Structure 1
Amino acid sequence: MQLALLAAAGIGLSLGILGSGGSVLALPLLVYLAGQDVKQAIAGSLFIVALISLATLLLSPAKQQINWRAALQLGISGALGGYLGALAAKFAHPMLQLIVFATLMLIAARAMWRHKDVTTPKSNPYVTLVAGTLAGALTSFTGAGGGFMLLPILIRFAGLDFFHARATSLLLIFSNAALALMANLSMQNSWQLDWSLLLAISALGIVGSLTGRYWSANWPQQRLRRGFALLLLIIALFIVGHSLLEVI
């Protein structure tokens, strides 16, 4: 339990520093440290990340950096995708959900590592809407808060710099995760979660998030992106390796 709570602070640090990454820690934490089954852990992960991202927005200057146009575009498309993803998750095998989760992290890690700053960011609203729908669907299907998908989308397709993308992603993480949580629990016909554990993890995560945001205020964008990419790579390889051992 102590190890799980320590990892909870890491969830917050990831969200505070990077504006994403909380779910890539929350889901493995609940599955591998708290011993929950994948379906239950997915719902719990969505609750944790939604609560931490909302608190980070309300208790830090992040809300002043939100790009509301991009948030509205991705919020609407993400809501539609979230329902579709929850419907697919209802019939999916837990192992498939974990493998899809790990695969998405590897793709996002590569995108963030290879990204280069440009003088004039280019935005594509149509690609942004499609990507937002996909991000919402994958949020419901895998239990990911969506930050590791939303951050590259906001930078590469919505044309935002890292810090505005980080703030906007926090708002979208909250909306996507909250809607996905309700959809998943409704379709599973069960609201039985370990709420005391989830609240304890969320509280530590909020402290970590605010601390991480303060520490990273003046850090270079490229280092933040590449640090985020390395985090995704490590967690993804762990999930794939553990899944393969279970099959063998």
Structure 2
Amino acid sequence: MTATVLTVGLAVLIGVSLGLLGGGGSILAVPLLVYVADLPAKEAIATSLLVVGATSAVALLPHARAGRVRWRTGLVFGVAGMAGAYAGGRLAAFVPSAFLLTGFALMMLATAVAMIRGRRATAGRPVPHELPVLRVVLDGIVVGLVTGLVGAGGGFLVVPALTLLGGLPMPAAVGTSLVVIAMKSFAGLAGYLSSVRINWGLAVALTVAAVLGSVLGGRLAGRVPADLLRRAFGWFVVVMGVFVLAQQFPGKLGPAVAAIGALALAGTVTVAVGRHRRRSYY
């Protein structure tokens, strides 16, 4: 009972993350359900897809009212992502849980480096209102496959795809990503339901708590500078990625791997950011 109450309480942070950062919901939800609620990995992934999908749909509303959503880009990305997410959800039934969580953590760390590093400044390049359809479709399918396979709603991949590859400003990427996350999460859930059963009572309680958090996150989103938001998102993903990766190694080996991984990642980020700043300066 205590674990359930704690899980529901912490679910508020899932909503805050989605409302503020346009992602990170499953990065919180999967570890929360596995390590606090003590759910099996695949049930945790399926439950997170439900919670994050519903919460993203609600968190989208304040961004839409503020004009921070690129609807065509979001809907095309979402449709392409739904196809990939459903396929990933079906494929996950044949992949060992430890592989899913390890892959989840590694992708989080790779994405974090890209977000902290940022895009190379390109003077004179206009900010796009909508992205090219073909690029959006290809990115959507790839990100959707990952979403369905490892249970991530996709924000930690969609936001970098929209900002680093597409060039959308961070506030627009955050709002648009919520459209994509909601669509892909429900598609990935449909794939999982063929092989996984969900505790619906727990899922509904988590969703309500996360929705309340998303309202707070959405109110904060328009008040935080875009560069600060991007870097905060990246470091948030670093912390969660190192934690999840450490849990996949037995005994005392886990903390050692986490420490080595954190140091290596910090060095990589420092070098990457330094090079990026020098290129931008010149």
What is the TM-score with the length of structure 2 in the denominator? 0.81
Tell me whether 1:129 sits opposite 2:132 in the alignment. no
- State the identity as a percent: 34
Q: Which amino acid aligns with 1:73?
A: V
Contact 2:171 2:222 in 1 (8 A): no
Match of 2:204 among 199, 204, 207: 199
Q: What is the root-mean-square deviation in Å for CA atoms of aligned residues?
A: 1.9
Deviation string 1:149-201 (CA, Å, 9 cap, x unpaired) is 00011112333111111111001100000011011112x1x4x3111111111
Q: Which amino acid aligns with 2:192?
A: N
What's the counterpart of residue 237 of structure 1? 242
Q: Distance in 2 between matches of 1:105 and 1:159?
A: 21
Within the candidate set 79, 82, 88, 1:79 is matched to: 82
Paired positions, count: 244
Match of 2:226 in 1: 221
The reply to whether residue 161 of structure 1 matches residue 169 of structure 2 is yes
Alignment counterpart, residue 157 of structure 2, candidates 149, 162, 167: 149
Q: Partner residue of 1:120?
A: 126
* Structure 2: distance between partners of 1:240 and 1:65: 34
Match of 1:41 in 2: 44
Structure 2: which amino acid aligns with 1:158?
G
Counterpart in the other structure of 1:62:
64
| Residue 104 in structure 1 maps to residue 107 in structure 2 | yes
Q: 1:29 aligns with which of 29, 32, 43?
A: 32
The answer (yes or no) to whether the contact 1:147–1:173 under 8 Å persists in 2 is yes
Gaps of 5+ in 2: 254-282
User: Paired residue for 2:269?
Assistant: none
- What is the SS of the residue equivalent to 1:175? helix
Q: Tell me which residue corresponds to 2:53.
A: 50
Matched residue, 1:15 = 18
The structure with the largest alpha-carbon Rg is 2
SS of the residue aligned with 1:243?
Answer: coil
Segments of 5+ residues of structure 1 without an aligned counterpart are none
TM normalised by structure 1 equals 0.92
Mapped partners of 2:9, 2:92: distance in 1 = 29
Q: Distance in 2 between matches of 1:39 and 1:193?
A: 10
Is the aligned partner of 1:95 residue 2:98? yes
TM-superposed CA distance for 1:137, in Å, is: 0.5
Letter in 2 for 1:133: I
Distance 2:218 2:84 in 1: 29
> Which deviates further from its counterpart, 73-82 or 113-122?
113-122
Q: CA deviation at 1:232?
A: 0.6
Q: Contact (CA 8 Å) 2:87, 2:191: kept in 1 or not?
A: no
SS at match of 1:144: coil
Shift of the alpha carbon at 1:126?
3.5
Deviation by residue 1:27-72 (Cα, 9 ceiling, x = unmatched) = 01110000000110110000000010011124x2435422122113
Cα distance in 1, alignment partners of residues 205 and 18 from structure 2 = 17
CA positional deviation for 1:3? 2.6
